[in-house]
Amino acid sequence: MKGPQGKSGHRDDSSERAARDRIRDLTKKPAPKRNPRPDSFDRPALRVFTTTLWEYPSQHYGPSGRVQGDPTYVGATPSWIIWQLLRRYTKEKDLVIDPMCGSGTTLDVARDLGRRPLGYDLAPSRADIFRADARKLPLEDGKADFVFVDPPYSTHVDYSDDPRCIGKLSVGGEDGGRAYYEAMTRVIGEMHRVLRPGGHAGLYVSDSFEKSKATGGRTGFMPIGLDLFSIMREKFEPVDVVCVVRHNAKLAQGNWHKAAEEGNFFLRGFNYLFIVRKSAAKALPAAAEKPAR
């Protein structure tokens, strides 16, 4: 899939074969990983959810102590969300792409389900993630069967020192979030390009509420989710919108609730999961012009 490119944009065949061999080796299912901080309860068995309100009591699925991705990675996607998507919208041996792979959660879930995963990140956290910018993926058009993205929600998490990191672009900045939304428009464009016609994609994101100098010292609500969904609709067909209940540490701390009450703002209680599809319709041939009479 991934191979070095020269200035002409052509890939070296031998390098591309080597990359394919590496991907084949990396997609072999590894031994289950153990959580250094295991759950103190038995996780319920996963089943395919049938409503648009999703909730699960753990970040990970499977026997207590087993993990997908890195449980210490800040901002990691709950693995059961990816499990739900892949069970519904993919089949065995399908190619699953994550352009912002983080700790590799998508790769682990895909292998659990017999899918072929391929992950990219500006700052790869492990050997089976390729270094690449989600705005310019080194992948041919229409190769992926499913694409999943969990992007930065403004500047809440410091993901890397790379100045290209989208997590360094503030939605509440002096530019009104223009740089962030321009970057995410390019990411969504790449999602569409690499996805096969008729394939599905999922984007997991939260809105934001910030108080900073960039917003004049005032608190402000930034509807990141709704804004990104609007961008997605320019290229994709909407399938559905799921609300995923958040279980982060802040929601368990009384001081955050006190601050929200005193400051008259809301803590983020859910994330959006936008599910979309690339149109499978072929372009209709142009109508023949009628001869002049």
Half-sphere exposure of 190 (CA within 13 A, CB side): 20
Residue labelled with tokens 């970057």: 183
> Which residues are CB-neighbours of 118 under 8 A, at least 6 positions away?
1, 23, 95, 96, 97, 98, 130, 139, 144
The pLDDT score that the predictor gives to residue 210 is 74
CB 121 within 8 A of CB 100: yes
Half-sphere exposure of 123 (CA within 13 A, CB side): 13
- Report the alpha-carbon distance of residue 246 to residue 4 in Å, rounded: 40
Whole-prediction pTM value? 0.79
Instruction: Give the H/E segment covering residue 24.
Output: helix 13-26
Q: Which two tokens stand for residue 263?
A: 């400051």
Which of the pair, 200 or 163, is modelled with greater confidence?
200
At 41, is the pLDDT very low, low, confident or very high (cuts 50, 70, 90)? low
Q: Which domains does the chain have, with CATH numbers?
A: 34-277 (3.40.50.150)
115: burial class by Cβ within 10 Å (0-12, 13-18, 19+)? buried
- Report the alpha-carbon distance of residue 117 to residue 107 in Å, rounded: 5
The pLDDT score that the predictor gives to residue 282 is 58
Reported as a single tens digit per residue, the pLDDT across 118-157 is 999 999 989 999 999 999 999 999 999 999 999 988 656 6
Question: Per mean pLDDT, which range of 16-20, 54-58, 257-261, 273-277 is the poorest?
Answer: 16-20
Residue 9 has pLDDT above 60, yes or no: no
Residue 197 has pLDDT above 80, yes or no: yes
